[in-house]
Amino acid sequence: MQHADSSITQYSAAANVRQPPPSTGPRFFYLQLAAALLVTFGLIGWLLTTRTAANPEGAASLAIELEVIGAVIASVFVAAVWLNLAITVIGWRRRTVSSEVRAGRLAEATLEGILIHNERAIIDANRALADMVGVDVSALIGRPMLELFANEQRAAVDEMSREQGAEFIEASLLCGGGAATPVELRSRTLEFEGQLAMITVIRDVSERKRAAERIRHLAHYDSLTDLPNRVLFWDRLHQALAMARRHNEQVAILCIDLDHFKEVNDTLGHAAGDRLLKEAAQRLRGSLRDSDTLARLGGDEFAVIMSNLREGTLAAECAKRIVEALSVTFDLDGNEAVIGASVGIALSNPAEEDDPETLLRCADLALYRAKTEGRGAFRFFAEEMNVRLQARKLLERQLRHAMIEGQFELYYQPQVEAGSWRILGVEALIRWRHPERGLIMPSEFVPLAEETGLIVPLGEWVLRTACKQAQPWGDLRLAVNLSATQFRQPGLEDAVARALAESGFDPQRLEVEVTETILLQDIEASLDALRKIKRLGVRIAMDDFGTGYSSLSYLRTFPFDKIKIDRSFVHDLGQTEEASAIVRAVVQLGRSLGIRTSAEGVETRTQADILLLDGCDEVQGYHFGLPMSVDELETMLLRSGTQPLSLPPSMTAA
């Protein structure tokens, strides 16, 4: 870009340097010096002439010579004073000139725009300002300076530039093509070419603003999906609820949780997990109205705020779209992942003062319900969920207390060999002897213990206690359940080894029962733990076989010692041909893989006979013995040992 030369280089105002008076220029001093010398020599000449006239014989007396010498010395002195003065002034002048040049150069070199104006008309500007505006300096001269700023800011700029000592103000500098640059400016008065003017310094703050905006964005948006984060979500929720109250409308919060996300993360890695989250965020966005807020609250947890709702059915329709969108297979760089989503919905009540925390908690409870009722679905919040939540919290407190108080007991159920009907072993089953509620079954507290992680210390207690109690029972085998949560903790194999060492229990007598859920999570870590436990000499049984989706495929991943056929198949034996076919198939599969099979939940003689006929190796169920206390079991063992049990008539569970 061409720039007309700025006269800013010609004045020293910007550097606050005073102009020297015109009568002190170097030429003037040289003239004065010459005049002084001329006067001196003239004076000497005149003296010599007059003295010669007064003494016509030409005899120079001593007095005359002294006068002449005095005059010469005086002249040299005057000349020296003049010379010194001249050198000082010239030096000062030189410095002054270089200050001007420097000030001019500084004005040109600075990145800040500089504007000199008088009566709001631009007198001069530097190149930086011209660059900012996108014109030549010459095009700025004479223009009203307020024209450079956005319309609505002109009054403020004007006021600032009139007020001596005003602070920096922010404004938008209008640039070519209608663009505006955010700037900061401040003015001062100065003397410019003999008159009073204003100098305004204009600083481009767009980079600073962009940095501030980036920081603000990072504080409010999730960096992976670029969706609003929890902070912004709360802000929007507060606003939405306030608006809804004013307009007598409803707000819906939808809490969304991706089903099986953890498995994808664990099996395909975190990069695949991240891609899935991004894709899920896009699908979610596509299922919503433009006015809805979609936020990522953390991990695989998303939430939606739907405002201006006149009816809750809109939220249900939206939740349905979300569930459908997320159930479509994800393609993660060639790996297919099927996840799905569960949604919990809570609606605000415009007649009441809903607080955001409660509303979100309600949506969370509804989500929890959706997940526990099978996932891939949505549920609206209902008050009874709150009641259940309170009950769960109470149970959790009591559970922790029970551990400290030692309120747990082990019951043992016989495991019987098919055909000989001898007791081969026992399965340890935990019970909670509650001081007020009596004996509580594991289905009431084991899932909660798993969720809260309490199952880890509880599971260790079971292992230690069972090994100790079963130690004196001859060569009876002992089966102990291990939960998937225990496999998530490192050092499970150490806990098993410790329990064996402490009690002196023969590892060959111990069998741990695991369900396929342990292989749904970090499969490698779980297999590693299983291998280490097996290396101790302990046997591994796959429990509840047939209830999962991939029981069969997991049989290939690890050399299980036993398959326990789930009681749901045993229950229908003799009633449906299908149940018999399944049991037969599993038994044959076990045979071909060299794995023993055991049937759970045998309640009738007929079931036992069919299982024997089908080749099942072991049976377990109420028909052969209910879970019993240590005393009951020891009494039974004392009475009849592991002799063939007299098969009691069919009985039902208590």
Ligand X SMILES: Nc1nc2c(ncn2[C@@H]2O[C@@H]3COP(=O)(O)O[C@H]4[C@@H](O)[C@H](n5cnc6c(=O)[nH]c(N)nc65)O[C@@H]4COP(=O)(O)O[C@H]3[C@H]2O)c(=O)[nH]1
**Of the ranges 43-51, 156-164, 185-193, 621-629, which one interacts with ligand X (CB under 6 A)?**
621-629
Angle at 336 between CA 333 and CA 339, to 5 degrees: 120
For residue 143, which amino acid is it? R
**Min dist. Cβ of residue 455 to ligand X (A):** 6
Return the SS3 of 193.
coil
Residue 293, token pair as written in the block:
């807020």
For residue 349, which amino acid is it? N
Nearer to ligand X, 83 or 484 (CB): 484
Element (H or E) spanning 122, and its range? strand 121-125
**Min dist. Cβ of residue 413 to ligand X (A):** 6
Residue 74, token pair as written in the block:
């005086």
**Min dist. Cβ of residue 574 to ligand X (A):** 14
Nearer to ligand X, 197 or 645 (CB): 645
**Min dist. Cβ of residue 497 to ligand X (A):** 18
Nearer to ligand X, 305 or 492 (CB): 492
User: Are the CB atoms for 101 and 9 separated by under 8 Å?
Assistant: yes
Cβ-defined contacts of 312-316 (< 8 Å, 24+) = 312/250, 312/252, 312/345, 312/347, 312/380, 314/252, 315/252, 315/254, 315/345, 315/347, 316/345, 316/378, 316/380
Element (H or E) spanning 186, and its range? strand 180-192
User: Are the CB atoms for 549 and 518 separated by under 8 Å?
Assistant: no
Q: How many residues bind ligand X (CB under 6 A)?
A: 25
Return the SS3 of 131.
helix
Q: Which of residues 509-538 bind ligand X (CB under 6 A)?
A: 513
Asked if residue 481 binds ligand X (CB under 6 A), the reply is yes
**Of the ranges 39-47, 388-396, 442-450, 635-643, which one interacts with ligand X (CB under 6 A)?**
442-450
User: Are the CB atoms for 526 and 518 separated by under 8 Å?
Assistant: yes
Binds ligand X by CB under 6 A, chosen from 304, 339, 345, 462: 462
Binds ligand X by CB under 6 A, chosen from 543, 614, 617, 618: 543
Binds ligand X by CB under 6 A, chosen from 404, 638, 653, 654: 653
**Of the ranges 182-190, 226-234, 296-304, 427-435, which one interacts with ligand X (CB under 6 A)?**
427-435
Nearer to ligand X, 195 or 652 (CB): 652
**Min dist. Cβ of residue 559 to ligand X (A):** 21
Asked if residue 414 binds ligand X (CB under 6 A), the reply is no
**Min dist. Cβ of residue 608 to ligand X (A):** 11
Q: DSSP string of 144-171?
A: BGGGGB-GGGHHHHHHHHHSTTPPPEEE
**In this chain, which residue has its C-beta nearest to ligand X?**
621
- List the x/- string, 627-646, binding to ligand X by CB under 6 A: x-------------------
Nearer to ligand X, 200 or 413 (CB): 413
Report the chain's terminal Cα–Cα distance, integer Å: 95
**Of the ranges 297-305, 368-376, 385-393, 454-462, which one interacts with ligand X (CB under 6 A)?**
454-462
C-alpha closest to that of 254 among 355, 382, 359? 359
In 508-560, DSSP assigns E strands to 510-514, 539-545
CA distance 539 to 560: 8
CA distance 481 to 268: 29
CA distance 527 to 529: 5
Binds ligand X by CB under 6 A, chosen from 275, 595, 601, 608: 601
**Min dist. Cβ of residue 421 to ligand X (A):** 15
DSSP type of residue 455: H
Nearer to ligand X, 300 or 460 (CB): 460
CA distance 614 to 599: 11
For residue 269, which amino acid is it? G
**Min dist. Cβ of residue 651 to ligand X (A):** 9
Q: Which of residues 354-413 bind ligand X (CB under 6 A)?
A: 413
Binds ligand X by CB under 6 A, chosen from 76, 441, 593, 613: 441
Asked if residue 184 binds ligand X (CB under 6 A), the reply is no
Task: Tell the burial category of 68 from Cβ atoms under 10 Å away from its Cβ (0-12, 13-18, 19+).
Answer: middle
Nearer to ligand X, 459 or 590 (CB): 459
**Min dist. Cβ of residue 444 to ligand X (A):** 9
**Min dist. Cβ of residue 286 to ligand X (A):** 41
**Of the ranges 78-86, 234-242, 380-388, 436-444, which one interacts with ligand X (CB under 6 A)?**
436-444
Asked if residue 604 binds ligand X (CB under 6 A), the reply is no
Residue 649, token pair as written in the block:
């008539």
Cβ-defined contacts of 224-230 (< 8 Å, 24+) = 224/274, 224/277, 224/278, 224/296, 225/277, 225/278, 225/281, 225/296, 227/281, 227/285, 227/294, 227/295, 227/296, 227/302, 228/293, 228/294, 228/295, 228/296, 229/295, 229/296, 229/297, 230/295, 230/297, 230/298
Nearer to ligand X, 364 or 603 (CB): 603
Q: Which of residues 554-573 bind ligand X (CB under 6 A)?
A: 567
Nearer to ligand X, 344 or 625 (CB): 625
Return the SS3 of 433.
strand
**Min dist. Cβ of residue 266 to ligand X (A):** 21
Nearer to ligand X, 69 or 651 (CB): 651
Residue 5, token pair as written in the block:
């030369």
Nearer to ligand X, 113 or 459 (CB): 459
Binds ligand X by CB under 6 A, chosen from 248, 443, 592, 646: 443
Nearer to ligand X, 114 or 602 (CB): 602
Binds ligand X by CB under 6 A, chosen from 622, 633, 637, 642: 622
**Of the ranges 261-269, 380-388, 423-431, 518-526, which one interacts with ligand X (CB under 6 A)?**
423-431
**Min dist. Cβ of residue 361 to ligand X (A):** 29
Would you tell me which residues interact with ligand X (CB under 6 A)? 413, 428-430, 441-443, 446, 455, 459, 462, 481, 483, 513, 543-544, 567, 600-603, 621-622, 627, 653
